[in-house]
């Protein structure tokens, strides 16, 4: 990594984009990264079901303060929807609770135009009820625990937005009579793709469940930027399980993304040294023009994220601080990015 790129990084925080494997929970992935980094302050953005794969942003150090903002990201998913049966979990992991009738006319399921028209009926704002098997809490208890204990509970509803749907393929999987739909979804936060698969099957009149689910994008982060934890552990072993050397190595290799990258698309303003120090102390600063007002803006010094603030009539009030005021690059004599 060049010296310029290193200026945009600090070695005690950042984002690692994990390409999550199937059959592991998001929490377990966090535990793996915590072990690799030798840090306690590690979290993730946007839980993926254990059976699902794909982009899982894992944050560490002060980058964990970005999670509330990252949780607002739109997402993109590729889902293989198996027609013909529904399950209690709405995915391949559950027990079959309904199957298509033997006399069902399946010929229309091979018609791309018909399928596309039906899929497009789910575009826009829709209401979804939280799946019975989900981590959504009711009275402080996850729904899946109620389900496992056979308890009845009212599941909450939420309004979500489906921005785009693209039918990629209609194909047949071994062992299934009805076809499988390969579909790409672009959605708002909080959308349950399993629920969409179930609803699509219901609307087709043949039942359905999510056979495979892959998150292909999470906000500004795409699947081609993500790395497998097995690859990370391979590096870790070669570096004699030294967490500090490991972190330095993956920073140099570009695997760790700067915390600032979490705020792609937000207004950003670079400041000089004096304002930079004030921001890291959580103090207000004045910016020009005096009449500017914005809900969320990021401030940087030497391209490193300092703080997130709200601005009202040119006065910036800090919401989150990402750099300690004692950081070496903030000392007098540092390169001053006075803009």
Measured distance between the N- and C-terminal CA atoms of the chain, rounded to whole angstroms: 25
- Dihedral of CA 93/97/102/103: which sign? negative
CB 306 within 8 A of CB 331: no
C-alpha 68/C-alpha 52 separation (Å) is: 22
Return the structure tokens found at 107. Answer: 């010929």
Contact 81, 208 (CB under 8 A): yes
Q: Mind telling me the catalytic residues?
A: 49
Backbone angles phi, psi at 20, to 5 degrees: -65, 140
- Judge contact between 14 and 59, C-beta under 8 A: yes
Does residue 233 have a cis peptide bond before it, meaning omega lies within 30 degrees of 0? Answer: no
Longest dimension (CA), the chain: 80
User: How far apart are the C-alpha atoms of 167 and 79, rounded to whole Å?
Assistant: 10
**271: β partners:** none
Tell me the CA distances in angstroms from 250 to 127, 235, 254, 322, one per residue in order: 41, 9, 6, 21
Please give the backbone phi and psi of residue 218, each rounded to the nearest 5 degrees, phi first: -135, 100
Cβ 206 vs Cβ 109: under 8 Å: yes
Q: Exposure string (b/e) for 35-70, b if CB count within 10 Å is 16 or more? A: ebbeeeebbbbbebbbbbbbbbbbbbbbbbbbeebb
Which candidate, 221, 238, 294, places its Cα nearest to that of 56? Answer: 221
């Amino acid at each position: 990594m060049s010296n310029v790129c290193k200026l945009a990084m600090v070695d005690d925080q950042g984002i690692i984009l994990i390409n999550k494997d199937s059959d592991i929970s998001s929490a377990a992935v966090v535990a793996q990264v915590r072990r690799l980094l030798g840090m306690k302050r590690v979290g993730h953005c946007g839980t993926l079901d254990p059976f699902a794969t794909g982009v899982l942003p894992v944050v560490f150090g002060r980058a964990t303060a970005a999670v509330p903002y990252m949780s607002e990201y739109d997402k993109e998913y590729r889902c293989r929807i198996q027609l013909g049966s529904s399950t209690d979990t709405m995915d391949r992991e559950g027990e079959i609770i309904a199957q298509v009738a033997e006399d069902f006319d399946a010929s229309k399921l091979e018609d791309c135009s018909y399928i596309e028209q039906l899929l497009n009926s789910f575009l826009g704002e829709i209401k979804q009820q939280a799946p019975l098997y989900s981590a959504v809490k009711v009275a402080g208890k996850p729904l899946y625990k109620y389900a496992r204990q056979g308890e009845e509970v009212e599941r909450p509803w939420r309004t979500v937005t489906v921005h785009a749907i693209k039918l990629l393929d209609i194909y047949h999987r071994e062992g299934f009579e009805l076809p499988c739909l390969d579909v790409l979804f672009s959605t708002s936060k909080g959308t349950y793709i399993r629920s969409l698969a179930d609803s699509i099957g219901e609307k087709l009149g043949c039942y359905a469940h999510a056979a495979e689910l892959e998150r292909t994008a999470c906000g500004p982060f795409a699947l081609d930027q993500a790395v497998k934890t097995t690859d990370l552990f391979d590096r870790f072993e070669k570096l004699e399980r030294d967490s500090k050397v490991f972190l330095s190595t993956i920073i140099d290799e570009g695997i760790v993304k700067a915390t600032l990258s979490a705020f792609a698309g937000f207004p950003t303003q670079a400041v000089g040294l004096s304002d930079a120090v004030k921001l890291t102390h959580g103090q207000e600063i004045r910016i020009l023009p005096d009449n500017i007002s914005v809900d969320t803006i990021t401030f940087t010094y030497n391209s490193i994220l300092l703080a997130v603030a709200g601005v009202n009539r040119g006065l910036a009030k800090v919401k989150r601080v990402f750099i300690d005021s004692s950081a070496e690059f903030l000392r007098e004599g540092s390169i001053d990015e006075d803009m």
